[in-house]
Structure 1
Protein backbone atom coordinates (compact mmCIF):
# COMPACT_ATOMS: atom_id res chain seq x y z
CA UNK A 1 0.00 0.00 0.00
CA UNK A 2 1.29 3.45 -0.94
CA UNK A 3 0.28 6.81 0.46
CA UNK A 4 0.53 10.41 -0.73
CA UNK A 5 0.17 13.52 1.42
CA UNK A 6 -0.59 16.69 -0.53
CA UNK A 7 1.17 18.75 2.13
CA UNK A 8 4.47 17.35 0.85
CA UNK A 9 3.75 19.21 -2.40
CA UNK A 10 1.47 22.05 -1.24
CA UNK A 11 2.58 23.18 2.24
CA UNK A 12 -0.27 23.30 4.73
CA UNK A 13 -2.63 21.00 2.84
CA UNK A 14 -3.93 18.15 5.01
CA UNK A 15 -5.39 16.01 2.19
CA UNK A 16 -3.99 12.53 1.68
CA UNK A 17 -4.82 9.29 -0.10
CA UNK A 18 -3.61 5.71 -0.25
CA UNK A 19 -3.94 2.82 -2.64
CA UNK A 20 -2.18 -0.30 -3.87
CA UNK A 21 -2.00 1.35 -7.30
CA UNK A 22 0.42 4.21 -7.99
CA UNK A 23 -1.72 5.15 -10.99
CA UNK A 24 -4.78 5.49 -8.76
CA UNK A 25 -2.89 7.73 -6.33
CA UNK A 26 -1.70 9.94 -9.19
CA UNK A 27 -5.25 10.15 -10.57
CA UNK A 28 -6.71 11.09 -7.18
CA UNK A 29 -3.92 13.61 -6.51
CA UNK A 30 -4.40 15.28 -9.89
CA UNK A 31 -8.16 15.53 -9.27
CA UNK A 32 -7.44 17.02 -5.85
CA UNK A 33 -4.98 19.57 -7.26
CA UNK A 34 -7.61 20.68 -9.77
CA UNK A 35 -10.51 20.86 -7.32
CA UNK A 36 -8.87 22.11 -4.12
CA UNK A 37 -5.96 24.15 -5.45
CA UNK A 38 -7.37 25.44 -8.74
CA UNK A 39 -4.69 23.90 -10.93
CA UNK A 40 -5.86 23.91 -14.54
CA UNK A 41 -2.70 22.54 -16.15
CA UNK A 42 -1.04 19.46 -14.68
CA UNK A 43 2.46 19.27 -16.13
CA UNK A 44 4.44 16.02 -16.34
CA UNK A 45 6.83 17.47 -13.74
CA UNK A 46 3.96 17.65 -11.22
CA UNK A 47 3.09 14.01 -11.88
CA UNK A 48 6.74 13.09 -11.27
CA UNK A 49 6.75 15.07 -8.02
CA UNK A 50 3.64 13.21 -6.86
CA UNK A 51 5.34 9.88 -7.62
CA UNK A 52 8.52 10.95 -5.82
CA UNK A 53 6.54 11.88 -2.71
CA UNK A 54 4.62 8.60 -2.45
CA UNK A 55 5.60 6.47 0.52
CA UNK A 56 4.92 2.96 1.70
CA UNK A 57 2.03 3.01 4.18
CA UNK A 58 3.25 0.91 7.12
CA UNK A 59 -0.06 1.28 8.99
CA UNK A 60 -1.93 -0.68 6.29
CA UNK A 61 -0.44 -4.00 7.38
Structure 2
Protein backbone atom coordinates (compact mmCIF):
# COMPACT_ATOMS: atom_id res chain seq x y z
CA UNK A 1 0.00 0.00 0.00
CA UNK A 2 1.29 3.44 -0.94
CA UNK A 3 0.60 6.67 0.94
CA UNK A 4 0.63 10.38 0.10
CA UNK A 5 0.04 13.07 2.72
CA UNK A 6 -0.82 16.44 1.21
CA UNK A 7 0.65 18.30 4.19
CA UNK A 8 4.13 17.28 2.99
CA UNK A 9 3.47 19.43 -0.06
CA UNK A 10 0.89 21.96 1.17
CA UNK A 11 1.66 22.86 4.79
CA UNK A 12 -1.37 22.63 7.06
CA UNK A 13 -3.39 20.28 4.85
CA UNK A 14 -4.47 17.09 6.67
CA UNK A 15 -5.70 15.25 3.56
CA UNK A 16 -4.07 11.93 2.68
CA UNK A 17 -4.73 8.96 0.43
CA UNK A 18 -3.67 5.35 0.19
CA UNK A 19 -3.74 3.11 -2.88
CA UNK A 20 -2.11 -0.04 -4.18
CA UNK A 21 0.06 1.78 -6.71
CA UNK A 22 1.70 5.15 -7.25
CA UNK A 23 -0.33 5.97 -10.37
CA UNK A 24 -3.60 5.85 -8.42
CA UNK A 25 -2.10 7.88 -5.58
CA UNK A 26 -0.96 10.55 -8.06
CA UNK A 27 -4.39 10.60 -9.74
CA UNK A 28 -6.13 11.13 -6.41
CA UNK A 29 -3.61 13.75 -5.29
CA UNK A 30 -3.98 15.74 -8.52
CA UNK A 31 -7.77 15.62 -8.16
CA UNK A 32 -7.43 16.84 -4.56
CA UNK A 33 -5.12 19.69 -5.56
CA UNK A 34 -7.61 20.83 -8.19
CA UNK A 35 -10.72 20.58 -6.03
CA UNK A 36 -9.41 21.67 -2.63
CA UNK A 37 -6.46 23.93 -3.37
CA UNK A 38 -7.75 25.48 -6.60
CA UNK A 39 -4.86 24.37 -8.78
CA UNK A 40 -6.17 24.81 -12.32
CA UNK A 41 -2.98 23.59 -14.01
CA UNK A 42 -0.94 20.71 -12.65
CA UNK A 43 2.54 20.94 -14.12
CA UNK A 44 5.00 18.07 -14.47
CA UNK A 45 7.06 19.53 -11.61
CA UNK A 46 4.03 19.24 -9.32
CA UNK A 47 3.49 15.62 -10.34
CA UNK A 48 7.18 14.96 -9.65
CA UNK A 49 6.83 16.59 -6.22
CA UNK A 50 3.85 14.34 -5.46
CA UNK A 51 5.76 11.23 -6.59
CA UNK A 52 8.75 12.19 -4.44
CA UNK A 53 6.50 12.29 -1.36
CA UNK A 54 4.74 8.95 -1.86
CA UNK A 55 5.88 6.34 0.61
CA UNK A 56 4.99 2.87 1.80
CA UNK A 57 2.07 2.94 4.21
CA UNK A 58 2.27 0.96 7.39
CA UNK A 59 0.08 -2.08 7.03
CA UNK A 60 -2.31 -2.38 9.95
CA UNK A 61 -3.00 -5.92 11.09
CA UNK A 62 -6.52 -7.26 10.61
CA UNK A 63 -8.60 -7.38 13.78
How many equivalent pairs are there?
61
Larger radius of gyration: 2
Q: TM-score, normalised by structure 2?
A: 0.91
- Provide the C-alpha distance between the structure 2 equivalents of 1:44 and 1:37, rounded to a whole number of angstroms: 17
Match of 1:6 in 2: 6
Greater helix fraction, Structure 1 or Structure 2: 1
Unaligned 5+ residue runs, structure 2?
A: none
Match of 2:56 in 1: 56
* Compared CA separation, residues 60 and 23, structure 1 to 2 (3 A): farther
- Provide the C-alpha distance between the structure 2 equivalents of 1:30 and 1:23, rounded to a whole number of angstroms: 11
Segments of 4+ moved more than 3 angstroms: none
Over the aligned positions, Cα root-mean-square deviation in angstroms equals 1.0
